[in-house]
C-alpha cells in the first residue's frame, strides 16, 4: 500500500478512458493524489504513468464495479492507505440502446449495476468517512438522459434518472456534514462510447462515420461535441472553494441540448 499523503485524495471510477481519464489527469495536475479505478488494468497503468510523469501522485486498481464485495474491499483499502477521499467522481458507466421489446432483463440489470448500484456503493463506503473529516465533494456523472427521455434508451435513461435522484437525496442527507453531492450531465461527448454509437448509426442508416458523428453533434444548438477535458474542468470547479456551497445541483454540459 502507498504511504499516506498530505495531498487531498481524489477517487475516479471508470478512469481508464474518456471522461474518467480526463478527470483523473485533471485532478492529478491540480495536486490531488489520484486513485483511478476501472476494469482495464493496462489502461490504468498507462494513466498512472502519465500522471506521475507530470509530477502527480497516482495509484490505480483494476476493479469490476458490478461486484459489490470487490467495490467495498477497494474502498476500504483506499481509506486505509490514503485516508478519506476529498473527492469522489462516480464516472463508471455503460450505455445500452435497444427497443423495449429487445431489452433483456439481464441487460437491464447490467446497466443498473454499473450506472446506479456501483455509485450507491461508492457513496455508501466513502461518504461517511468524508463526513467524519467534515469535508468532501462527490460528483456523479449522469447524462442528458437523466433530464429527458430518448427513444431506445429506456434502461440507460432509467439508470441515469435514478442516479440524479440519488444525488439529490444524498445532498440533503449530508448537507450539514460538510459533504456536497452534485450531478454532472454531459451531452454527446467525444469518447469511445460516442464512437460506438456513431458506428451503430452508420450500420443502421448507411451514413459514413463522419456523417454519423456530425448527426450526434447536431443534437445541440452549438453543433459540436463536448470534450472530456471540459467535463473534467467542471468537476474541478465543484471540488474547488468556489463550489463549497453548491450541492444537490444538476449541471448540464451539453452545448444547450437540454435547453432547446
Cα–Cα dist 13/214, whole Å: 29
C-beta of residue 252 within 8 angstroms of C-beta of residue 222 = no
> Rounded distance, CA 140 to CA 125, Å?
15
CA distance to 82, 124, 128, 175, per residue, from 131 (Å): 16, 11, 5, 10
For the chain, what is the HEC assignment?
A: CCCCCCCCEEEEECCCCHHHHHHHHHHHHCCCEEEEEECCHHHHHHHHHHHHHCCCEEEEEECCCCCHHHHHHHHHHHHHHHCCCCEEEECCCCCCCCCHHHCCHHHHHHHHHHHHHHHHHHHHHHHHHHHHHCCEEEEEECCHHHCCCCCCCHHHHHHHHHHHHHHHHHHHHCHHHCEEEEEEEECCECCHHHHHHHHHHHHHHCCCHHHHHHHHHCCCCCCCCECHHHHHHHHHHHHCHHHCCCCCCEEEECCCHHHC
Residues in the chain, overall count: 260
Catalytic residue (one of 32, 152, 156, 251) = 156
Annotated catalytic residue 156: yes
Supply the residues annotated as catalytic. 156
Amino acid at each position: 500500500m502507498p504511504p499516506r499523503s498530505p495531498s487531498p485524495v481524489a477517487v475516479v471510477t471508470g478512469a481508464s478512458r474518456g471522461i474518467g481519464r480526463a478527470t483523473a489527469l485533471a485532478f492529478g495536475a491540480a495536486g490531488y493524489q489520484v486513485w483511478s479505478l476501472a476494469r482495464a488494468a493496462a489502461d490504468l497503468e498507462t494513466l498512472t504513468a502519465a500522471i506521475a510523469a507530470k509530477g502527480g501522485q497516482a495509484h490505480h486498481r483494476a476493479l469490476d464495479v458490478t461486484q459489490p464485495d470487490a467495490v467495498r474491499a477497494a474502498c476500504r483499502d483506499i481509506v486505509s492507505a490514503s485516508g478519506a477521499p476529498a473527492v469522489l467522481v462516480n464516472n463508471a458507466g455503460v450505455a445500452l440502446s435497444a427497443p423495449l421489446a429487445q431489452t433483456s432483463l439481464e441487460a437491464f440489470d447490467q446497466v443498473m449495476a454499473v450506472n446506479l448500484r456501483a455509485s450507491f456503493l461508492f457513496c455508501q463506503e466513502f461518504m461517511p468517512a468524508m463526513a467524519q473529516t467534515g469535508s468532501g465533494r462527490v460528483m456523479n456523472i449522469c447524462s442528458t438522459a437523466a433530464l429527458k427521455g430518448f427513444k431506445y434508451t429506456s434502461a440507460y435513461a432509467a439508470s441515469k434518472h435514478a442516479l440524479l435522484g440519488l444525488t439529490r437525496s444524498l445532498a440533503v442527507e449530508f448537507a450539514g456534514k460538510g459533504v456536497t453531492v452534485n450531478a454532472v450531465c454531459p451531452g454527446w461527448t467525444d469518447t469511445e462510447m460516442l464512437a460506438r454509437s456513431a458506428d451503430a448509426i452508420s450500420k443502421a442508416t448507411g451514413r459514413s462515420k463522419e456523417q454519423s458523428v456530425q448527426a450526434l453533434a447536431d443534437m445541440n444548438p452549438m453543433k459540436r461535441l463536448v470534450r472530456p477535458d471540459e467535463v473534467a474542468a467542471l468537476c474541478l470547479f465543484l471540488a474547488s472553494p468556489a463550489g463549497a456551497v453548491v450541492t444537490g445541483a444538476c449541471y448540464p454540459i451539453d452545448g444547450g441540448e437540454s435547453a432547446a
